[in-house]
Amino acid sequence: MLIQKGKKMRKSSITFEEALIDMVRFYGEDTDRRSCVEGERLYYNSDGRQCAIGRLARPEHEALFRNFDNTDCGVIESVVHEYQKKQRMNGKWISEEEALAELTIVSDATLMDITFLQILHDEDPNWDKDGLTQFGVQTVGNFRPDLMEKVLSAIQKEEFLHQ
């Protein structure tokens, strides 16, 4: 299992499916783990909490993510494009997917996949004190219907789905 009570994941590489299931389980155990402060969503909260993407970020890129916590442009797309820009300045052209693979431990995610994780984490209607809401389940179904059954099976086994 990838969850490490309140800590960053320690595997060097995981699939998007593993990341999604782990995220739902991790925040489903305790929704106060979500990195939310006064309506702000942060990759790295000063109290140690991390958002779904902060938990997936490679340690060597933490500073880049933290820089975006201090802006009004903290969406993952901005982080990826800033990283691509820095790589181009060094003569290296990389795709969004290559940038994500370098920035995070997720080996097979598209920018849309990671954006979905950010939306699932950030949007309050997806969560309540008991875990993922029915609205959250619909969010999973809208973004990744191909993974819906696996996610539901995994979280129902752990009883983190709020009925």
Q: What is the pTM of this model?
A: 0.83
Per-residue pLDDT, 111 = 92
Per-residue pLDDT, 157 = 66
Strand partners, 131: 128
Per-residue pLDDT, 73 = 65
**What whole-number distance in Å separates Cα of residue 140 and Cα of residue 90?**
37
DSSP letter for 127, please.
Answer: E
CA quadruple 63, 69, 72, 73: dihedral sign: positive
**What whole-number distance in Å separates Cα of residue 57 and Cα of residue 63?**
10
Question: Which secondary-structure segment (H or E) carries 142?
Answer: helix 134-143
pLDDT tens per residue across all 163 residues of the chain: 444 444 545 568 899 999 999 998 899 889 889 888 777 788 888 888 888 999 999 999 999 998 888 776 668 999 999 999 999 999 999 999 999 999 999 999 999 999 999 999 989 999 998 888 999 989 988 888 888 888 888 767 654 444 4
